[in-house]
Structure 1
Amino acid sequence: MKVAVVAASLLPLAANVANAIYIPTDPEMLAQLSRLENGNRIPVPAVPVAQAPVDTPVAPKMPLAPFATSEHAKKNLVEDSYIIIFNDNVDEALISQHLVWLGDAHAEAVSALHKRDSQHPFLMAEGEEALATGGLKHVYNIPTGLKGYAGRFLPETIEAIRTHSSIVKYVEHDSRVFASEFATEKDAPWGLARISHKRPLSLSTFNKYLYDDDGGEGVTSYVIDTGTNIDHVDFGGRASWGKTIPSGDSDSDGNGHGTHCSGTIAGEKYGVAKKASIVAVKVLRSNGSGTMSDVLKGVEWAASAHIAAVKANKKGFKGSTANMSLGGGKSPSLDLAVNAAVKAGIHFAVAAGNDNADACNYSPAAAADAVTVGASDISDVRAYFSNYGKCVDIFGPGVNIQSTYIGSKYAVATLSGTSMASPHVAGILSYFLSLQPASDSEYAVAGAVTPAQLKKNLISYSTSGILEDIPADTPNKLIFNGAGGNITDFWSHGAAAAAAASSDAEQSFRISEELKHISEDVGGFLDGIRERLLKGVNY
């Protein structure tokens, strides 16, 4: 029969269609179809198709890649902007395929939106460049732990990206970050003196900085901030422009925040490590704010520059440090980027934040491998604005700190904030890194000292238990540079040696000061006698 031939030809098709839409095949139903040849009617199944017996397994759906945006960051979201992080084991070929797919998916979503509403705000803000790049803004690749990208995408594109959970680790909504500055108008340059004395400052020590004048030599410090006034006289030609990340922004510091931090790290007058070199990495605009995605790109650029410097093996190169005196809500992507940069060999200092809150809720303060820095004042009290908690590693001077500024090559300003405390630590990391033992020393480590080793020594060598208003879960540690003495002990014996080194150095300093006062007193006495003799006055 004609009907029988047609029905028989439909059997494989029916099975294929059933499998294609994940409907299980029912042997009894197929048997009934085959009996069409005998003119039998096909009965309606007593059970709905969705409940048919399962003979062929249904392919499981992949779970969606999660969103990883913190509650704190949600206060400062950048509309339609996202950061996508890949799983650790994803290779370059898969990433390339994904980005090709992304370009097509983005173009399709934008085209559909244009047909629905050609005046939609997304289209009004979407420039030709963004359309040409498939929505992409940045692609990230720090070999030691960060692969991903950022861009501006429609919600349907983001949902499609999330279905690629076999390679996508998570999606994070891009957010705004801000310089961690707390402005003040007072003028009291005391911070350098404080980090070179174990005891609280006094009238004779508050403006005396004790240091090794070779500190910082051979070290490059990347200041990831608003830029740096590289022509300032205090840098003595040791500052250079590295990279401007925000699109369309100038290679200059229009804010001053980055210049101030740079001066504290390596200024000739205001700096901790006076011979270090500064490289400006601009991630924040002139208003002191920027996006998390731009900050990630700045961290990646610094890590790549450091890796290139290590490979170049230039004579005299001692290593790299970085300072990031900025912050926003908790961002796993930024923490991941900072930790990856540290694993690449950069010694990283980050500000704890200025909200008098738990630093673990902020990024990059929560980055475990960096040195997270809280702020203290001249009286050795935690600054009232400084964040705290177990994510803080150490404290540094952060109230009324004078340093370099913008406006001229001689400009200075006095600012307060954990932004000012962090570069003290970046400076001291640069200082110790440059003074690490020679390779033939008994205290030398294999190769250059690692960030983990230096961080451990820095904390061990610090002044302990001296700060007030420190919560129970917060380390009571204030940075110390060794008081300009022999810091061989820094590399070998830790805290006990630091106390001894400080005691010796400060005792020498006090003796020197006492001799100076005696000399002044004797000089004054002799001048008095001379004056009386000239006037003919007898004793």
Structure 2
Amino acid sequence: MRFVETLALVPLVLAAPRPMRRSALAPLIVPRDAQLVEGSYIVRMKAEAAEQSISSTMELLSAPPAFTYTDAFNGFAGSLTPEELETIRANPDVEEVEQDALVSMFESPQQDADWGLARLSDNKPGGTTYTFDNSAGEGTCAYVIDTGVDASHPDFEGRAKMLKSFVRGGGETDDHGHGTHVCGTIASKTFGVAKKAKVFGVKVLDASGGGSNSVVMAGMDFVTKDARNQTCPKGAVANMSLGGTKSKAINAAAEAMIKSGVMLIAAAGNDGKDAVDYSPASTPGACTIGATTIDDKLASYSNIGSMVDVLAPGSNITSTWMNGETKTISGTSMAAPHVAGLAAYFLGMGQKKEGLCEFMAKNSLKDVIKGVPTDTVNLLIHNKANNGTRGPLEAEAEAEAE
């Protein structure tokens, strides 16, 4: 009888929960040379972690997480005490923890006339006419992860939409202007490369043009999910004219977005340094963009190196601004949307999204930019409209670059 009682206890012993600990703590990543956000962390869970484990991990926090990530990868971001940080790092379902860091847009204001559009269809600098196939990116969507967009600007002709803001108290519109400028270079009537594409604003930077990795990742996570539900029969691209020092978390979110089918265009950065040390510019699979000037020189501020895929006009670029205005500014922030627009343009012509960055590199003007170091490509993007490249309609339109 006592033997039977002992056996009856066995299931109870086996069913007792084991403490969730690991032999070594999950890695804690601190971005180098970054402005860190004190006490704020990004927690990336393992891909195989159960939803219940993720929920129970978040319940350990004394304050609710600021953001939860479900599409780019499983995880969350928020404020952690030192004790909470150690407990979370001991969880075997946690892949890694990264301290949050500040990011910013890559632009600086300058006052001069626009020229970038014309350079995309001319074989030599100095032109004033932009020649393009009249498919003009129709059927494509461009997500702009930035300061938002002034969708009411008349130059968008109703093709711009503000989708989501992740800036607390920032409002559902662009209160800086940078995002509207980027959207205009991609798809506005006057300044846009792809004049029939739709542009979507996803706000992750505040009125000063600043933000943090955790907020930017919330925008990336949103785009990864939203792109599955939008009507973009010819494809979707995402433009990120922002960044900071290298972040494994940002790069992981970027890779997930690319894997979902959204082409990512990333500004290389404005410090004249190697883009390999910046995110999302250093993401494998992203199309990373350096900047050029009106006289076909590499912009002095442009980041360089092996991560740069192509070059595009970036200095003294005029485009749309908030409150229905226009503005001329410079930076790799301005170069990237030329490429995002060109990607939408080629997608609209029927080009496949797979290998599109390589396709644009192949069709670029080669070795025409002065001052490019040997470790950086000398490839200036070009739409080939003056070289016989045509879309399904076999027609072209002309617009004076203003």
With structure 2 as the length reference, what TM-score do the two structures score? 0.89
Q: CA deviation at 1:289?
A: 0.2
Counting only pairs closer than 5 Å after superposition, residues 385-424 of structure 1 correspond to structure 2 as: 385-406=301-322, 408-409=323-324, 411-424=325-338
Alpha-carbon RMSD across the aligned residues, in angstroms, is: 1.9
Which residue of structure 2 lines up, in the alignment, with residue 338 of structure 1? 254
1:69 and 2:30 are equivalent in the alignment: yes
Which residue of structure 2 lines up, in the alignment, with residue 458 of structure 1? 360
Which residue of structure 2 lines up, in the alignment, with residue 219 of structure 1? 140
Letter in 2 for 1:470: V
Check conservation: 1:200, 1:379, Cα contact below 8 A.
Answer: no
Which residue of structure 2 lines up, in the alignment, with residue 295 of structure 1? 216
Question: Secondary structure at 2:29's aligned position in 1?
Answer: coil
Check conservation: 1:182, 1:354, Cα contact below 8 A.
Answer: no
Which residue of structure 2 lines up, in the alignment, with residue 98 of structure 1? 57
Q: CA deviation at 1:252?
A: 1.5
Q: CA deviation at 1:469?
A: 1.3
Q: CA deviation at 1:485?
A: 5.6
Question: Secondary structure at 1:90's aligned position in 2?
Answer: coil
Check conservation: 1:261, 1:419, Cα contact below 8 A.
Answer: yes
Q: CA deviation at 1:61?
A: 5.5
Consecutive unaligned residues of structure 1, counting only runs of 5 or more, are: 1-59, 108-130, 438-448, 491-504, 510-539
Offset from partner CA, 1:425-459 (integer Å, 9 cap, x none): 1100110111116xxxxxxxxxxx23x42122111
1:322 and 2:243 are equivalent in the alignment: no
Check conservation: 1:178, 1:289, Cα contact below 8 A.
Answer: yes
Check conservation: 1:402, 1:415, Cα contact below 8 A.
Answer: yes
Equivalent in 310, 333, 344 of residue 430 of structure 1: 344
Equivalent in 265, 269, 280 of residue 186 of structure 2: 265
Check conservation: 2:349, 2:390, Cα contact below 8 A.
Answer: no
Letter in 1 for 2:215: D
Counterpart CA distance in 2 for 1:61 and 1:334 is 25
Offset from partner CA, 1:380-425 (integer Å, 9 cap, x none): 111000000011111100000000012x32x110000000000001
Check conservation: 1:262, 1:423, Cα contact below 8 A.
Answer: yes
1:192 and 2:117 are equivalent in the alignment: yes
Which residue of structure 1 lines up, in the alignment, with residue 102 of structure 2? 176
Counting only pairs closer than 5 Å after superposition, residues 464-479 of structure 1 correspond to structure 2 as: 464-479=366-381
User: Which has more radius of gyration?
Assistant: 1
Which residue of structure 2 lines up, in the alignment, with residue 443 of structure 1? none
Counterpart CA distance in 2 for 1:286 and 1:141 is 27
**Percent identical across equivalent pairs?**
40
Letter in 2 for 1:158: L
Counterpart CA distance in 2 for 1:321 and 1:485 is 25
Check conservation: 1:78, 1:175, Cα contact below 8 A.
Answer: yes
Letter in 1 for 2:90: T
Q: CA deviation at 1:317?
A: 2.2
Counterpart CA distance in 2 for 1:486 and 1:158 is 59
Q: CA deviation at 1:370?
A: 1.2
Q: CA deviation at 1:161?
A: 0.8
Consecutive unaligned residues of structure 2, counting only runs of 5 or more, are: 1-20
Check conservation: 1:189, 1:207, Cα contact below 8 A.
Answer: no
1:384 and 2:305 are equivalent in the alignment: no
Letter in 1 for 2:30: T
Letter in 1 for 2:73: L
Which residue of structure 2 lines up, in the alignment, with residue 201 of structure 1? 125
Equivalent pairs counted in the alignment come to 374
Letter in 2 for 1:106: L
Counterpart CA distance in 2 for 1:140 and 1:471 is 39
Equivalent in 19, 24, 48 of residue 89 of structure 1: 48
Counterpart CA distance in 1 for 2:382 and 2:143 is 22
Which residue of structure 2 lines up, in the alignment, with residue 254 of structure 1? 175
Q: CA deviation at 1:355?
A: 0.3
Counterpart CA distance in 2 for 1:92 and 1:258 is 35
Which residue of structure 2 lines up, in the alignment, with residue 245 of structure 1? 166
Letter in 1 for 2:378: N
Check conservation: 1:69, 1:330, Cα contact below 8 A.
Answer: no
Counting only pairs closer than 5 Å after superposition, residues 40-59 of structure 1 correspond to structure 2 as: none
Q: CA deviation at 1:329?
A: 1.1
Which residue of structure 1 lines up, in the alignment, with residue 69 of structure 2? 140
- Higher relative contact order, structure no. (Cα contacts within 8 Å, ≥ 6 residues apart): 2
Q: CA deviation at 1:216?
A: 1.2
Counterpart CA distance in 1 for 2:284 and 2:375 is 16
Counterpart CA distance in 2 for 1:268 and 1:61 is 57
Equivalent in 76, 79, 97 of residue 152 of structure 1: 79
Counterpart CA distance in 2 for 1:301 and 1:467 is 37
Counterpart CA distance in 2 for 1:423 and 1:137 is 29
Counterpart CA distance in 2 for 1:467 and 1:172 is 38
Q: CA deviation at 1:482?
A: 1.4
Check conservation: 1:82, 1:173, Cα contact below 8 A.
Answer: yes
Q: CA deviation at 1:341?
A: 0.7
Offset from partner CA, 1:153-201 (integer Å, 9 cap, x none): 111110111111x22111111111101112212x22110111112x321
Counting only pairs closer than 5 Å after superposition, residues 432-447 of structure 1 correspond to structure 2 as: 432-436=346-350
Instruction: Give the structure with the higher percent helix.
Output: 1
Question: Secondary structure at 2:228's aligned position in 1?
Answer: helix
